[in-house]
């Protein structure tokens, strides 16, 4: 029985040039150092545009998941995101990555979210945070902890017990953790996402429990982070999904993703958001696609097409996020699964390269024609670089590549020990001695019943 069962698979503004007065101004908008709370340090939405410290900005973001990249490489990959010409990094926060056991949180080492955010700021990147509770992301159970279903099937992602109590505890914990790193508090976080593509799963228009769930997340976020933070939802970029997953008016900024038809997406956004509070944004432009076991790459996005999509959005003065800028790897059993039906449901492979412009190993990503995606995007972003809003006079140079060590280069490796996977001693060692049975086990019994919330059950 495989425990990698993620649910569903599944960012009208202003002229790029804001007048000659900018030309003699020093870049001041993106700071790489933390500062104390200041009335002049603000990020908000005004007149259908993002405004940072009183000046317009287009968010040019790249997605990178700290949970999929070894901590030793965080800084290198963030430098490359900046060197591609982006000014923002977007990251998911997987709940189950930090609370593998109920009530026990881990934010240290590889899971040190605050350090990742600090490094982003050190590299002059703003941060868009996507803390769930559900994230999808092709991650195990969409980021939800397996122990939520230890007692069997239960309602998830809605206002129902016991899910809502657990979810709100996580929500309060993660928001309190990152509050000191909000932009207004001296950090780089400018936007925080609530839930993820909820219109694919719930329906706030027709289901009172779904509506209460989302309202609780929004009100609690405002209570903890303050009423100045830009909270947002993201859904598939059509009116139907935006209405199912978000609320019209000013309680939250509603954004669309995919944006295959940007005009349609932006009109749908404008229909949801409060007048003057709807800057164009595509929260996910797909630089490639996921790969499931048994598949070749299923979506070949060429460097030329990707660069053209970004160019078109920038000409519309639209903010965006590249999903992914750098994909990384699915370590351990953290990879999720996806499919359109039971027979099509398959887990992700270990690599989450995603055919991104920064490849899994940190080098330039290339398309099916061997064209360089990183260079193609950097050329576009160079043309649209703004010294004032992007925080420096020019795009920084790309760092040297980290030299990897080939421990066994030119050598053969002979494996001298082996063990039977189904031997009692092997099973005991793999399970830490916790999963043993003295008799037959009922078929189709969920692994969570045994306290196995992650990995495999034999």
Catalytic residue numbers read 197, 284
Using alpha carbons only, how large is the chain's radius of gyration in Å? Answer: 22
Reading the block at residue 299, the tokens are: 């979506």
Other beta carbons within 10 Å of 336: 25
The candidate with the shortest Cα–Cα distance to 288, out of 342, 255, 328, 256, is 328
By C-alpha distance, which of 199, 210, 203, 197 is closest to 10? 197
In whole angstroms, what is the distance from residue 389 CA to residue 55 CA? 8
Q: Which of 282, 252, 264, 234 is nearest to 58 (CA)?
A: 282
| C-beta of residue 133 within 8 angstroms of C-beta of residue 159 | no
DSSP element (H, E) containing 236: strand 230-236
**What whole-number distance in Å separates Cα of residue 373 and Cα of residue 366?**
5
Task: Choose among 134, 161, 145: nearest CA to 101.
Answer: 145
Q: Is the peptide bond preceding residue 324 cis, with omega within 30 degrees of 0?
A: yes
CB 309 within 8 A of CB 322: no
């Amino acid at each position: 029985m495989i425990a990698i069962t993620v649910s569903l698979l599944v960012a009208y503004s202003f002229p790029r040039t804001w007048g000659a007065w900018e030309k003699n101004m020093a870049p001041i908008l993106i700071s790489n150092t933390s500062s104390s709370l200041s009335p002049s340090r603000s990020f908000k939405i005004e007149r259908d545009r993002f405004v940072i410290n009183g000046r317009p900005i287009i968010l040019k973001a790249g997605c990178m998941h700290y949970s999929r990249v070894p901590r030793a490489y965080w800084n290198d990959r963030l430098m490359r995101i900046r060197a591609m010409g982006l000014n923002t990094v977007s990251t998911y926060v997987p709940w189950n990555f930090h609370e593998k056991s109920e009530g026990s949180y881990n934010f240290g080492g590889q899971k040190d979210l605050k350090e990742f955010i600090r490094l982003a700021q050190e590299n002059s990147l703003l941060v868009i945070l996507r803390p769930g509770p559900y994230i999808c992301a092709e991650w195990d159970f969409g980021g939800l902890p397996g122990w939520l279903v230890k007692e069997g099937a239960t309602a998830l992602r809605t206002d129902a017990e016991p899910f809502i109590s657990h979810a709100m505890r996580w929500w309060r914990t993660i928001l309190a953790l990152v509050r000191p790193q909000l932009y207004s508090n001296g950090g780089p976080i400018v936007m925080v996402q609530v839930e993820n593509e909820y219109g694919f799963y719930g329906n706030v228009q027709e289901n009172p429990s779904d509506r209460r769930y989302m309202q609780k997340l929004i009100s609690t976020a405002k209570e903890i982070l303050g009423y100045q933070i830009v909270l947002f939802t993201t859904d598939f970029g059509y009116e139907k999904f935006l209405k199912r997953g978000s609320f019209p008016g000013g309680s939250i900024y509603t954004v669309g993703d995919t944006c295959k038809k940007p005009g349609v997406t932006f009109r749908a956004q404008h229909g949801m958001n409060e007048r003057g509070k709807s800057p164009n944004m595509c929260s996910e432009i797909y630089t490639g696609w996921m790969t499931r076991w048994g598949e070749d790459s299923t979506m070949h996005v060429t460097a030329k097409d990707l660069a053209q999509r970004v160019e078109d959005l920038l000409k519309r003065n639209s903010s965006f996020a590249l999903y992914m800028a750098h994909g990384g790897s699915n370590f351990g059993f953290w990879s999720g699964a996806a499919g359109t039906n039971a027979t099509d449901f398959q887990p992700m492979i270990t690599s989450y390269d995603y055919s991104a412009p920064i490849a899994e190993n940190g080098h330039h990503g290339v398309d099916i024609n061997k064209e360089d995606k990183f260079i193609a995007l950097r050329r576009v972003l160079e043309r649209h670089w703004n010294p004032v809003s992007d925080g420096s006079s020019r795009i920084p140079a790309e760092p040297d590549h980290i030299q990897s060590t080939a421990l066994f280069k030119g050598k053969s490796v002979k494996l001298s020990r082996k063990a039977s996977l189904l031997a009692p001693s092997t099973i005991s060692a793999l399970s830490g001695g916790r999963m043993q049975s003295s008799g037959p086990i009922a078929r189709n019994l969920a692994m969570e019943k045994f306290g196995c919330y992650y990995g495999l059950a034999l």
